[in-house]
Structure formats: C-alpha cells, structure tokens
Chain A
C-alpha cells in the first residue's frame, strides 16, 4: 500500500440514522424528474413538450449556452409536467414512467472508442453532466483535455454512504467506465480510498489508476480535499471529477449502448424508520421510499444528498442528478427557552461550550434549527480547524464578498467548491452562508474569466 495521507483537520458529525447495509429493490417509482437547478451555470432550453413520449436517454432539455450538452430522461414514459419557479425558471421536468423502461439505443457497434467518440456518446446520452470540472465545480467542457481525473471512492460526510457496497456488484461496468475515463485525460485517473476500509474493494482491482489512501475526519472523502493533497489545482489547470455511480453508468453506456441510470442509494437520517440501501433510477421520486417509513409526529426535512451539501426536496420530491443518498431529519422550527445558556447535553458542537463534549461517542439527532442569528465574522481560527487545505478560508470568503478577483485567485479559489467549505458553514458561530458565498465567487470567476 502506498503512503497514507492523514487528514488532521475536519470534523466528524455523529448523527443518528446511519443506513443499514442491506440492499432492497423497491418497485419502480411512478415519476422521475431532471432538475436544471442541479447543474450550475446551465440555462435550460426545453426540447420536449408536455405530453411527449420519451425513451430513456432521450433529451428533455439542453444548455442554451452549450447546446451539445443534453439532459436526458432516465426512464421511458410521458413528459407530464414542467415545474417553473420565479420568472418562469424551469425547476423540474417530470416524466411519468412506463411500467418497463424502454431504452434509446446508441450505436456502439464500433467498439474500442477514441476519446472523441466516448465524449460524443456521453453528450448525446445525457451522461456528460456527470463530469465536473475543477476549478469552479461546473459541467466540464468536452473540448478540454484535463490534467487528471479524480474519483473519490469513499464518503466521509455525516451519515456517509458505503460506496464500496454500491459498486461491488457492478465490476464489469465499472471497469469499462474507468477504461474509458483513462482515454479522456492526458494524465492519470486517481482514486481516493479510505485507508481503514476493506483492502480488497473493487477500487483496488482496477488496472492503471493511481490509488491514494486517506485517513481521518470529514472532509477526507471530499474529492476537493483529495486533489489538494495529491496535486493541487493551480491557475490554468483543469481537473475533472466524477462519482463512482456515474462511472458505472458510463460503463453500461459503452458496453450496452443504453443510458441505464440505475444506481444504489442510501436512505438514512434520524427520522427514517427502516434505513437501508435501495436500487433506484436516477431522478426517481422518493415517495415510495419514505412513505410510511418516517416518523410522522414532526415536520421533516427531506434532503437529496448529505446533510451538509444536499438539496432540500419535498416528501414526494425527486432524487438529484448527483445524489447518492436521501436523508430525512427533523425540521427545527421551534423556540427554545434560553437555549444558549443551557448545558446542552443533546447539542452537538465542535467547541466544548456544551457539555455534550463529555460524551464523545454519542450520536445526535440534529434538526435544521439555525441555532442562532446572523452576525458579522467575529470568531477567528474556527474555519481553519475544519479545512484541511493550505488555504485561509475567512480571507478567501472576504475576498469573494469584496468581488476582488485577483485576491480570490491568490487565495486559492481554484482549489475549492462549495462542499469543501461546507463544514465552515456548519461550525460558524456567526451563521454565515458560506457555501452560498463560495458559489457567488465561483460564478463571478466563470463570468469574468470563462
């Protein structure tokens, strides 16, 4: 085993409701959605109308600024609704699924594809948006050739998903997917592995990839952390990242010629009665997973993705494009009498100002209460404790707020996206919307520098 990279800064948030590692195959959901809001910087333009019949892999909309990037239906069926928000912004394109998925066939008879052909297939099948470009955390530009491709093969976020378990039965597709990725970069494909997980996982058996072992707290499993430790992104570098579930879909695309977006997700959180892993199709409605499977006494928050970076959805909402988990936690819409002064045995805090520090192994059921009011930056050294990068988070955030592009560049904006600073937002005494600020900064960089 190569050298282990220890992540000494960070925070493990111990939550109740970790998913049991048991796989179920629920019946197919009746509706599916692709949400343009999952994709940063995309201006969606519809290519279907309500009532149209589509096959799995047929385009629903494309990016106005980059018409080659298609967003396709994960299942076959009928387009039943286009949900719009303010100023008619498209929020969801909903497809009512057929009982059996009918796939659009992509031509793979040629075999042994070149990089260009792989990209072409990914673009038309709707798989291309799974490739994320660093810097900026946006959908990669298919004309680039990235320095490296990084894949994080474990999750360290609260209620982490077991990715080894998710891929173990997909050896063939995964291998084919990685092989294709290797053609897309002039550099290497890098896997970030957890040094403490089982040593013979599928990830260690793939030829020609660089393995990097990490040990430590969250955000050890964030691909941004891994890139920073292995070979940080400098000005001018382009690095791509992709999630393991999408590599499997890529493998299926190239071996079967179809966009088969089925994946295994975890369902967890303190309010779920029976947690576990479920085989579903990307974009699925979660209603049949959570129906009668959650504690109904309280108002709940349903999250597509993890509790730090995921998106809030409704109880009949849809799994996000990039998500591999659904988490359900209590809403925190309640007042607490002199809550700031109580001992706080049930409260989780990085600081030791609550007596919960005396129970270091306890798991918590945290709700969505903000636990305070918005303030200016007051404390110092707090963010630094949870960012394992050679970066000064507060100063970078202030540069973003000042819209000082030179400073942002100098202080390392190329190395981060929202999720890398998610813990800063969690621990912040002043309740500052760190991830939102980071996205504003990234958007500004894209706008100014392209």
Chain B
C-alpha cells in the first residue's frame, strides 16, 4: 500500500491548481480519499473524533441495498423466462438478469457521479458521497426495460435540479432518487406503467406463453382483480413483476435490519410508515366498497414499492423530518398517503413515490411545529420565572 500511497503523492502536484490536470482536482481528491482516509488531524474543538464518516455511512446503506439488488437480478431473469414459458437453469436466469440490470446501474452511476465530480470541481469542495446511495437506488426503482438513455436523462435531471441547485448533498429538499423516478413517470409514462414494462422482453413483443400477464399484482388489485393476487409467500419473497429492487419484501427486510442495527437509518420512520400504511389499510377495510379496499392491509405492505420506500427512501436523513418527534408524524403520514393514493387514484396504482415526495415537501413544516413546541416550553419558563 505504501507504493500506492507514494504514487498518489507523486501525481498530486499535477492536480493542484495551476497543474497540468488542475481541472480534475476534485476527481483526484475523490479517488485519493476513497483509497486512503486522509491524514487530516483535528485543529480546533474536540481532539478526538468518532471513526464514522460519510463514506462509511453511505457504504453501509449501499450494503443494505445489496440483497434487494441481488434478488432483483435474479427476479428479472426469473420473470423473463417465466413469461416465455421456458425452463432454464439458475445460471441462465442470473446471467439474463445481470445483462439487464448491470447496464442500468452503470448508467446511473456514470451520469450521476460525472455531474457530482463536475460540480465539486466548480464549487471547489470535496465530492459528496450522497450519490453513492442515490446511484444504487435509481436502478432499483425503475422497470427493467426502461431505456438507458431515459435513465441517463432522468438521473441528470435529478442530480442537477433535484440536488445541486440547492447546494448539493445535505441541502436538497426531495430525495434525488425519487426525483429521478418521478421525472421518468411523468415524462415517459408509457415506459413506466402498464402491463408490459415490468418484465424484460415483454415490451419488445417477445413471445409470451399463453395466459401470462405482465401486470404487477398492485395493478391487478387496483383494477379490482384481487383474486389474481399471487400467494403471500410469492409476494413476501418477491417472485412477482415490479420495479427491479422493490419486489422482495424479504430482501428489503434484510437491508432494514442492517440499517437499524448500525443505527444509520431511523427505525422510527420505518416503523411509523408501516403503522401509517396499516392504519389506512384497516380504515379502508372497515369502509370497503370495492375489492381493492377490501384487500388485507398486510398485503398492501408487501405490494409495490411500499416496503422499499419505507426502508430506503423515507429514511433519507436529508429530505426527511429531522426532529425525533417529527419523524413519527412524517413516517405515519407517508404510510397513510401511500395507501390513500394507491386506492383512490385511478391513474396509477403506485402511491409510495408520491407520498414520500409529498412528505419530503412537508417535512420542514412538521419540524417547524415540533420546534415551536420546544420554543413554547422555553418561553413559558421565562413567564413562570418573571
């Protein structure tokens, strides 16, 4: 490692301002700090610091996404060959999945990180690690047949309009990955919904075995076809059509356990989102007038992007509520709105994306009221004393 360190030190002068490669200073810094935790020491304040940094934090989240990614790769292949009615080996399934999913991951990272590097260079600050997570989230929340150029355009939109114009990681109002999805959803609705986009090959008209429908269970349920719902175990393990990473509740739960155990994501938001979803589901059950409203509240949690959103999207510390009390309210409302939009909006069956974006918007307001109650307690004390 010493040789590598020497090499990095040797090429460093070229990347300083005025050096041959001065325009790539942020890129150099990015790689340098990726390879080596820097030798910077504390200058003021506390002399010792916690070992955690943003790289560690973000890499834990990416690690938590890995089960969903792996399952997504498998399920992509599995659904593909299911639609063709072919019996194939495990490795054929996986390799088909890899061929479909990896390009999405690569495009998302390449476009997003490219913009991040450029902006960091422009602003002369270090590269923020936030996109390491966004870049992994984006491929997991799109349908598998989304054209790569669309993913590229949407990612660029999300990083620039959704994040960098506000000042970069830590300053954004909405979750950048969800901005990507919302952009795709409203700009190219035909590629983001319907019965043909969820399974690779279906939209290009490859032969489909008789009686096979590519509709997601959620779309079926919204159409009143609740009798077509797959078995609970299929929904839980994820052998259903849907966006790449969202189908397996089990894989998402494994990620959730890691996030909660390490203390990276707020268990309060996850729990309250689930509670909010359950509550709304039960309310609908009580006043059910159609079969979708009658659907078990538990099923709601396993369908569509609910679980994925609750674990990986709602918990984004930047765009979510930042006070501990606020987190309970924020999560609960996300759960409620997600189910509400799902059931009552005829245009599209998935409510999680919009529910989270809506609550991202209102998170500062929730925090404001939580803070106001703190301020009132403090001011009351002054009056009592006076």
Contact = CB atoms under 8 A, between A and B. Distances in A.
A234 interface: yes
Interface string B138-179: 000000000000000000000000000001111100000000
A369 B37 contact: yes
Interface string A409-450: 011100000100010011111110111100000000000000
Interface string A290-317: 0000000000010100011110100000
Nearest to A13: B48
Contacts of B60: 353
Contacts of B374: 390-392, 411-412
B46 A353 contact: no
B44 interface: yes
A392 B370 CA distance: 10
Nearest to A418: B45
Interface stretch (A70-78, A99-107, A168-176, A375-383): A375-383
B229 interface: no
B57 interface: yes
B210 interface: no
Interface string B263-274: 110100000000
B36 A308 contact: no
B39 A334 contact: yes
A384 interface: yes
Contact of A312 (B47, B51, B262): B47
A312 to B, nearest CB: 7
B347 interface: no
Q: How large is the interface on A (under 10, 10 to 19, 20 to 34, 35 or more residues)?
A: 35 or more
A17 B193 CA distance: 63
Nearest to A346: B51
Contact of B48 (A341, A350, A367): A367
A257 interface: no
A349 B381 contact: no
Interface in A351-389: 351-354, 356, 366-381, 384
A392 B321 CA distance: 13
B286 interface: no
Among A309, A379, A394, A422, the one with the most B-chain Cβ atoms within 10 Å of its Cβ is: A379
Contact of A375 (B1, B36, B38, B169): B169
Nearest to A377: B170
B35 to A, nearest CB: 6
Given A333-B39, A395-B371, A234 B385 contact: yes
B53 interface: yes
B294 interface: no
A307 B48 contact: yes
Nearest to B168: A376
B48 A375 contact: no
Nearest to A369: B41
A345 B379 CA distance: 46
13 contacts: A337-B36, A344-B51, A350-B52, A353-B262, A369-B39, A372-B49, A372-B52, A376-B170, A379-B57, A380-B266, A411-B374, A426-B46, A426-B50
Given A351-B263, A380-B321, 5 more contacts: A341-B55, A353-B262, A369-B42, A372-B54, A426-B46
Interface of B: 1, 4-5, 33-42, 44-57, 59-60, 126, 128-130, 167-171, 261-264, 266, 317-318, 320-324, 327, 367, 371, 374-375, 377-379, 381-382, 385-386
